[in-house]
């Protein structure tokens, strides 16, 4: 409004002012650069130093990859192609080794005419993981997820089909005993179920398997564990150890939090002992010392021994991660479970563990990623992992003798894809469960 003499004239605008663009320094890329890279003198110096380091790295890597060769049979032929194409003294990546030996990195020394079996096992693995990892997949497919370990074992190792069948029957026997005793005493039901399964596996499984094999000899060609290698070996050990270590870690975490002195003491001793011993020591124990404690003539598969040790190692670390999640829960959650009249197992299944596991997702996935990368340590017990065992075999061949960086870059890239995928899935799971509720 404006004043004229002693009178006041009121003015109301009847049209909107056109929308003005924000200042250039407060929008778009300029704003992002100011806030993230040049927000202060220290940040500016670090940005410039980082850019210089990145420039030096790319100045060597870009021409090296730009001069790469994918079609060659030997290292000498590869270097000859680089010299003829880009001149004498030019350097380039001889990625033809990947094209020439990718089956060896993937399957190790698995028989070539049986490659379809690990490929089929991998496809079925993704199908089995789908209902576990993604809520949109029908839950009824979980039955296949439970059967996959036995199907996968039969596909990879072969032999009679009755070996995985009688192994599965042990779980069926244990479950039947648990269902029959669960309403009377939950703890006694669990102990009796475990005892029944062990009796089946130790004393009854062998005779039943031989009898069934005599009646119906259904079998695939057997493959020795020494033929395993490359990423087939890494995935077999990694997936098995990840799948087994999570439930075992949960039990150890609950045992460490238990009020029962014996269970708590055993859990604490196991966790602290495993966490205090390097994984390589446990692998040597599985490879060398374990045979001294077995009956003469016992054939205990080396890959199975490694899986057991890696599982125990990972379970101890997962137990501590989950214990942190349990400790982070407010005491009121436990009191609420008591107020609802829930027993211990119901309270853990319905209230405590779901919240503790959501809190522990980052730590659990980090342990899984470290576990998958640690599968490369099996080279020290005579198994051909992709990073050292297979790569050394490739570099020792006369065709590729002298090659260095390309095999390690290829194997590292494949490991990065698997580990990055696990990391992204954990972020997706955190968003879906809305951990922070903000």
pLDDT at 220 over 60: yes
Entry pTM:
0.86
Q: Which single residue is written with the structure tokens 């809520």?
A: 135
Q: 289-326: buried (b, 16+ CB within 10 Å) or exposed (e) per residue?
A: ebeeeeeeeeeeebbebbbbbbbbbbbbbbbbbbbebb
Token output for 414: 């494949």
DSSP string of 197-237, one letter each residue: HHHIIIIIHHHHHHHHHHHS--EE----GGG-BHHHHHHHH
Distance CA 170, CA 148 (A): 16
Per the CB < 8 A criterion, the answer to whether 330 and 359 are in contact is no
Rounded-to-10 torsion of CA 74, 77, 83, 89: 40
Count of beta carbons in the 10 Å neighbourhood of residue 128: 22
Exposed, middle or buried: residue 251 (CB in 10 Å: 0-12, 13-18, 19+)? middle
Distance CA 240, CA 228 (A): 15
Q: C-alpha 245: how far from its chain's center?
A: 11
Per the CB < 8 A criterion, the answer to whether 65 and 98 are in contact is no
**Could you tell me which of 269, 366, 371 has the C-alpha nearest to residue 324?**
366
Distance CA 44, CA 38 (A): 5
Distance CA 358, CA 345 (A): 18
- Average pLDDT for 250-272: 91
- Give Cβ neighbours of residue 380 (< 8 Å, ≥ 6 apart): 280, 283, 284
Helix (H) or strand (E) holding 116: helix 116-133
Q: What confidence tens digit (pLDDT) does each residue in 138-195 have?
A: 888 888 999 999 999 999 999 999 999 999 999 999 999 888 877 777 778 888 888 9
- Per-residue pLDDT band at 20 (split at 50, 70, 90): confident
Task: Walk me through the domains of the chain, giving residue ranges and CATH numbers.
Answer: 62-94 (no CATH), 159-220 (no CATH), 227-433 (1.10.3720.10)
Phi, psi of 220 (to 5 degrees): -105, 160
State the average pLDDT for the chain: 88
- Per-residue pLDDT band at 129 (split at 50, 70, 90): very high
Dihedral angle sign, alpha carbons of residues 417, 422, 427, 428: positive
Exposed, middle or buried: residue 422 (CB in 10 Å: 0-12, 13-18, 19+)? middle
Distance CA 375, CA 360 (A): 23
Q: What confidence tens digit (pLDDT) does each residue in 50-109 have?
A: 999 999 999 989 999 999 999 999 999 999 999 998 888 888 999 999 999 999 999 999
Strand, helix or coil for residue 160: strand
């Amino acid at each position: 409004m404006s004043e004229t003499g002693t009178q006041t004239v009121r003015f109301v605008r009847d049209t909107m002012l056109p929308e003005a663009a924000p200042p250039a320094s407060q929008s778009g890329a300029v704003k992002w650069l100011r806030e993230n890279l040049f927000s202060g003198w220290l940040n500016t110096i670090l940005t410039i130093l980082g850019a210089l380091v990145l420039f030096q790295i790319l100045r060597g890597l870009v021409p090296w990859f730009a001069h790469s060769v994918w079609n060659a049979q030997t290292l000498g032929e590869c270097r000859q192609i680089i010299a003829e194409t880009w001149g004498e003294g030019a350097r380039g990546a001889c990625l033809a080794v990947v094209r020439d030996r990718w089956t060896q990195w993937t399957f190790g020394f698995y028989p070539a005419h049986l490659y379809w079996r690990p490929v089929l096992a991998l496809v079925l693995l993704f199908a089995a993981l789908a209902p576990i990892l993604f809520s949109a997949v029908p839950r009824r497919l979980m039955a296949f997820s439970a059967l996959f370990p036995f199907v996968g074992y039969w596909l990879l190792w072969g032999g009679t089909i009755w070996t995985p069948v009688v192994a599965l029957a042990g779980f069926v026997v244990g479950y039947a005993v648990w269902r029959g005793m669960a309403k009377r005493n939950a703890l006694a039901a669990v102990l009796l179920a475990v005892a029944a399964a062990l009796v089946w596996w130790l004393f009854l499984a062998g005779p039943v398997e031989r009898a069934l094999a005599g009646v119906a000899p259904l079998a695939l060609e057997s493959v020795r564990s020494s033929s395993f290698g490359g990423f087939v070996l890494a995935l077999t050990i990694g997936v098995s150890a990840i799948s087994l270590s999570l439930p075992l870690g949960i039990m150890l975490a609950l045992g460490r939090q238990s009020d029962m002195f014996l269970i708590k003491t055993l859990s604490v001793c196991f966790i602290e002992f495993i966490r205090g011993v390097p994984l390589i020591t446990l692998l040597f124990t599985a490879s060398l010392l374990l045979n001294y404690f077995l009956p003469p003539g016992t054939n205990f598969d080396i890959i199975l021994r490694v899986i057991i040790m890696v599982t125990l190692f990972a379970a101890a670390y997962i137990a501590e991660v989950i214990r942190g999640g349990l400790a982070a829960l407010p005491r009121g959650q436990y009191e609420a479970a008591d107020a609802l009249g829930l027993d211990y197992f119901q309270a853990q299944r319905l209230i405590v563990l779901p919240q503790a596991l959501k809190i522990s997702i980052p730590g659990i996935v980090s342990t899984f990623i470290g576990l998958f990368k640690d599968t490369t340590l099996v080279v020290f017990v005579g198994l051909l992992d992709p990073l050292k065992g297979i790569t050394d075999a490739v570099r020792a061949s006369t065709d590729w003798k002298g090659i260095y960086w390309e095999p390690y870059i290829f194997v590292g890239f494949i490991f990065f894809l698997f580990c990055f995928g696990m990391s992204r899935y954990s972020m997706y799971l955190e968003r879906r469960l809305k951990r922070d509720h903000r």
